[in-house]
């Protein structure tokens, strides 16, 4: 009998020509200490005795794909035939220990999109695939979620189910990334262990030999799946610039596989006329949020404190609405040079073997002083210790940079912005960088990704102009 509050569970077994192992697999699914609601076998047009085996076992619902459809469609067809509140997928050559469902259920709650587990290889190899806790390792860095998760059926449906990837592989990673977005609480690791059979016909042994560079395929899958939120805090200082700013942004985001969300915090107190219905086709969503009134302060120190607090509050307001995996802050007086955004995106989206690359900024100058925005920080005696006066073409690891043109991974960077660093220095961007460093992550400036920083209503701008590798900063004040 079903326990109180325990969901009904559908086990979906999918295979093609796994007749040598299928009986053992299906019986392991049926013989659970916590009985599944149903076991569905989706056969992907096998030409061995798999269908006959499935028909011979009492309690198996058969989905017979009479034409080859591939593992993605076959799995989805199996789910379509099922009716459980939660689904667990199993490949036809694997096995489930008797306590597999029970251990998954021990970690599975209404607030958890799915639970995942470790895998013990058996057969030709006996190595153990450990599964870290969700917050222990960044899921976008490397997949550690195998096929046999326990997932709420509504989560599976809402995130799009199994989907094909351009490389015809890593479907479990794709599903895990998409499903993990469905709830505010993250997935959990359970104490279950999948029995993962290794044999001469194993997909993993055959398929991985076809890829010369494992990182290349990871990067490709990441770029297929990344969703971005672009955010701007609009102060109304340069309204004539904003149509140009928006057109430049639209040109930049054309390289993305998925349309980004756009969030505008409107601090100008005026209607935003430069975003029209025609612009909405380029974004998944446009959110315009009324911000804060103009700052009133007589003393310079009081003014700086209020500005820093306002900017931190605005950034936090963005975070309450941001849906992207990557957050891109672009200030309303910043125009990217050709190719700058693409370089930033490629840099932050690529696999980092050390797992420390969390944020990257373009190279741009302060509007008031000819110096690069960004530098090093003295943590013992809180203050700026090194301004960047020289740079190479290689990425520069810094302690902080500005938010003029910044990209960062939402889930591994500080979740909240604060107005002060070192107790009383008014610098929300410095604080973000130093908080990120304290988390063991790196923030970079990409010297080859250059931006124009617009100065005033005449559209004068400053930008760095490197002459050779490791050059002193040159800068130009120009007019459009």
Residues of the chain with CATH 3.90.550.40: 226-479
Count CB atoms within 10 A of the CB of residue 122: 15
Give per-residue pLDDT as tens, 189-236. Answer: 999 999 999 987 665 544 554 544 667 788 889 999 999 999 999 999
Give per-residue pLDDT as tens, 139-173. Answer: 999 899 999 999 999 999 999 999 999 888 899 99
Q: Is the pLDDT of residue 182 over 80?
A: yes
Residues of the chain with CATH 3.90.550.10: 9-211
**CA angle centred on 185, ends 179 and 187, rounded to 5°:** 50
Residue in this structure with the two tokens 């980092």, named with its chain if needed: 352
Give per-residue pLDDT as tens, 342-396. Answer: 999 999 999 887 889 999 999 999 988 878 999 999 998 888 888 887 777 899 9
Q: Which CATH class is domain 9-211?
A: alpha beta
- CA separation for the pair 90, 41 (Å, rounded): 9
CA atoms within 13 A on the CB side of 200: 1
- CA separation for the pair 83, 37 (Å, rounded): 9
From start to end of 92-241, where are the E strands?
Answer: 114-123, 128-129, 150-152, 188-198, 228-234
Q: Give pLDDT, residue 203.
A: 53
Q: What is the DSSP string of 217-263?
A: HHHHHHHHH--EEEEEEE-SS-GGGHHHHHHHHHHHHTT-SSPPEEE
With 0-12 / 13-18 / 19 or more C-beta atoms within 10 angstroms meaning exposed / middle / buried, residue 351 is: middle
Give per-residue pLDDT as tens, 432-461. Answer: 999 999 999 999 999 999 999 998 867 788
- CA separation for the pair 95, 328 (Å, rounded): 44
Return all residues near 46 (Cβ < 8 A) that are at least 6 apart: 15, 16, 17, 18, 19
Q: Is the pLDDT of residue 470 over 60?
A: no
| 340: DSSP letter | H
Q: Give pLDDT, residue 458.
A: 75
Q: Give pLDDT, residue 348.
A: 97
| 171: DSSP letter | H
What is the total residue count of the chain? 480
Residue percentage of the chain with pLDDT more than 70? 92
Count CB atoms within 10 A of the CB of residue 250: 14
Contact predicate 11/29, CB 8 Å: yes
Q: What is the mean pLDDT of the chain?
A: 91
Of 197, 176, 194, which is closest to residue 130 (Cα–Cα)?
Answer: 194
Residue in this structure with the two tokens 């050709």, named with its chain if needed: 338
Q: What is the dihedral of CA 251, 256, 261, 267, to 10 degrees?
A: -40
Q: Give pLDDT, residue 99.
A: 98
Q: How far apart are the first and last CA of the chain?
A: 75
Tell me how far CA of residue 233 lies from CA of 227, 277, 314, in angstroms: 20, 20, 7
Q: Average pLDDT for residues 266-270, to the nearest whole number? A: 94
CATH topology of domain 226-479: Spore Coat Polysaccharide Biosynthesis Protein SpsA; Chain A (3.90.550)
Q: Give pLDDT, residue 477.
A: 57
Count CB atoms within 10 A of the CB of residue 114: 28
Q: Give pLDDT, residue 211.
A: 47
Residue 244 tokens, joined:
């140009």
Tell me how far CA of residue 315 lies from CA of 1, 14, 242, 330, 390, in angstroms: 50, 46, 20, 11, 30
- CA separation for the pair 278, 284 (Å, rounded): 13
Q: Is the pLDDT of residue 466 over 70?
A: no
The helix (run of H) or strand (run of E) holding residue 81 is helix 71-81
Return all residues near 99 (Cβ < 8 A) that are at least 6 apart: 32, 33, 192
Residue in this structure with the two tokens 């569970």, named with its chain if needed: 9
Give per-residue pLDDT as tens, 327-342. Answer: 999 999 999 999 999 9
Q: Give pLDDT, residue 3.
A: 53
């Amino acid at each position: 009998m079903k326990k109180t509050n325990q969901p009904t569970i559908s086990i979906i077994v999918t295979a093609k020509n796994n007749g040598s192992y299928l009986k053992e697999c299906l019986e392991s699914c049926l013989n659970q200490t916590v009985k599944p609601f149903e076991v569905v076998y989706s056969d992907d047009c096998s030409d061995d005795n798999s269908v006959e085996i499935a028909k011979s076992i009492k309690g198996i619902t058969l989905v017979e794909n009479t034409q080859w459809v591939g593992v993605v469609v076959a799995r989805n067809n199996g789910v379509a035939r099922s009716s459980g509140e939660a689904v667990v997928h199993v490949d036809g050559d694997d096995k489930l220990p008797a306590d597999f469902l029970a251990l998954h259920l021990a970690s599975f709650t209404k607030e958890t999109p799915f639970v995942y587990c470790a895998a013990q290889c058996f057969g030709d190899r006996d190595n153990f695939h450990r599964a870290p806790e969700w917050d222990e390792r960044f899921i976008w860095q490397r997949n550690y979620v195998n096929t046999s998760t326990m997932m709420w059926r509504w989560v599976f449906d809402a995130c799009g189910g199994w989907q094909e990837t351009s490389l015809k592989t890593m479907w479990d990673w794709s599903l895990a990334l998409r499903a993990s977005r469905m709830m505010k609480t993250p997935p959990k690791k359970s104490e279950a262990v999948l029995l993962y059979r290794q044999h001469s016909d194993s997909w993993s042994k055959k398929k991985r030999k076809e890829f010369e560079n494992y990182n290349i395929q990871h990067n490709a899958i990441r770029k297929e799946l990344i969703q971005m939120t672009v955010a701007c805090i609009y102060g109304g200082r340069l309204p004539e610039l904003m149509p140009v700013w928006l057109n430049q942004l639209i040109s930049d985001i054309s390289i993305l596989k998925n349309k980004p969300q756009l969030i505008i915090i409107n601090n100008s107190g005026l209607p935003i006329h430069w975003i029209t219905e025609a612009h909405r086709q380029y974004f998944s969503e446009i959110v315009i949020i009324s911000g804060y009134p103009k700052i009133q302060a007589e003393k310079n120190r009081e003014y700086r404190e209020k500005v820093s607090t306002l900017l931190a509050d605005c950034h936090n307001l963005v975070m309450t609405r941001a849906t992207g995996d990557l957050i891109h802050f672009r200030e309303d007086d910043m125009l990217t040079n050709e190719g700058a955004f693409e370089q930033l995106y490629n840099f932050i989206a690529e696999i980092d073997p050390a797992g420390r690359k969390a944020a990257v900024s373009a190279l741009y100058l302060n509007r008031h002083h000819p110096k690069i925005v960004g530098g090093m920080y003295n943590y013992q005696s809180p203050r700026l210790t090194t301004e960047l006066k020289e740079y190479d073409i290689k990425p520069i690891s810094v302690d902080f940079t500005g938010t003029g043109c910044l990209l960062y991974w939402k889930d591994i960077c500080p979740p909240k912005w604060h107005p002060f660093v070192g107790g009383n220095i008014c610098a929300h961007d410095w604080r973000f960088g130093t908080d990120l460093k304290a988390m063991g992550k790196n923030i970079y400036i990409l010297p080859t990704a250059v931006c124009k920083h617009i100065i005033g209503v005449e559209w004068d701008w400053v930008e760095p102009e490197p002459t050779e590798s490791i050059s002193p900063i040159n800068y130009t004040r120009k007019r459009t």
